[in-house]
Amino acid sequence: MNPTQEASIDALKGQRIGVLGYGSQGRAHALNLRDSGLDVRVGLRPGGATATQARADGFAVAAPAEVVGGSDLVAVLTPDMVQPQLYREAIAPHLRKGGALLFAHGLNVHYGMIDPRADIDVILVAPKGPGALVRREYERGAGVPCLFAVQQDASGHARARVLAYAAGIGGARTQLIETSFREETETDLFGEQAVLCGGATELVVQGFETLVEAGYQPEVAYYECMHELKLIVDLLYEGGLAQMHKYVSETAQYGDLTRGPRVINAETRQRMREVLTEIQDGRFAREWVAEYAAGNPHYKALKQRDLEHPIEKVGAALRAQMGWLQAPKATVKGAAVTPIKNTGTGG
């Protein structure tokens, strides 16, 4: 049977779900599961801002170890790098035999930073979208597609449990795709590094710098290389390459087909393979663990460099004039628009 059709919340009815973490995914999962009729408690450290938010949302909140001890399924939705310690201190000593341990990303299990007990189910549900979207789509009666996997089936009911969880957060309303911890982890990291975050942002910055270096106005370069990217991504999201080609000009299409492969080419593909190899053999994971353990000095420096790049300063000034990006207002009619000074040399 198609897993999307097979999924039902029945396997989790009458069971308690403990959600550890109440950030983007944690809040969305907890709210959706509860609205699906399931019994949810939230495990958080006392006194934190997220604990206040969870209580305001009507959840019973307790320390992680207490929530784990009283749960049949525990969803670990905290940041990746804090999960190993959380498992050692709050989960492994308290999760009942035959219980289920669920992750939204397989990194810690796949790379051996968490070695789950043999007497529990180990499962994964990874929505293909941020928590805000998971919640919003659920509220409007839809859902975000989810990957799901069973790493360890100690109870004999792991598949039913993972599908029930996916149904509970709304994934079964759209599409469920079966995968493995390895495939989810390695493809997710590759997508982030080579395309979605690393690749796309670096392409934008390099394009911006190329135009500014050639004497064009930074504001114009920003619009061409950053702002308009959303228009193309939306077309790709809605209908793939065919949709994009349908709605851009023939001039743009010809430039795409003839010049695009000169920018992103076989050399790029080879570097992508190298990035993928570092993910597959664990080098990236080891590097990130070591960086985190050292207090993130390199990470913080690189992030600060990004935030100080001229494209950020130009972009902030331009976005301040885009009324549609601001918080909803009664009206933006008649709003003053400050002319942009020509700071370039033309071209």
Q: Which residues are known to be catalytic? A: 105
Helix ranges restricted to H, the chain: 3-6, 24-35, 49-56, 64-69, 83-86, 107-110, 131-139, 158-168, 181-190, 198-213, 218-222, 229-247, 250-263, 266-280, 283-293, 297-307, 310-319
Strand partners, 125: 148
Q: 50 among the known binding-site residues?
A: yes
Q: Is 224 annotated as a binding residue?
A: yes
Q: Is the dihedral angle over the CA atoms 220, 226, 232, 234 positive or is it negative? A: negative
Cα separation of 316 and 202, whole Å?
18
Is residue 22 a known part of a binding site?
Answer: yes
Q: Computed over its alpha carbons, how large is the radius of gyration of the chain?
A: 23
For tokens 């029945």, the residue is: 10
**Is 228 known to sit in a ligand binding site?**
yes
- Helix (H/G/I), strand (E/B), else coil: 60: coil
Beta bridge pairs of residue 18: 41, 74
- Contact between 131 and 24 (Cβ < 8 Å): yes
Q: Is 192 annotated as a binding residue?
A: yes
Q: What is the spatial distance between Cα 177 and Cα 145, in angstroms, rounded to a whole number?
A: 8
Residue 131 annotated as binding site: yes
The two tokens of residue 23 are: 């950030």
Question: Residue ranges for the binding site for NADP(+)?
Answer: 22-25, 45, 50, 131
Question: Residue ranges for the binding site for substrate?
Answer: 249
Question: Residue ranges for the binding site for Mg(2+)?
Answer: 188, 192, 224, 228
Question: Residue ranges for the binding site?
Answer: 22-25, 45, 50, 131, 188, 192, 224, 228, 249
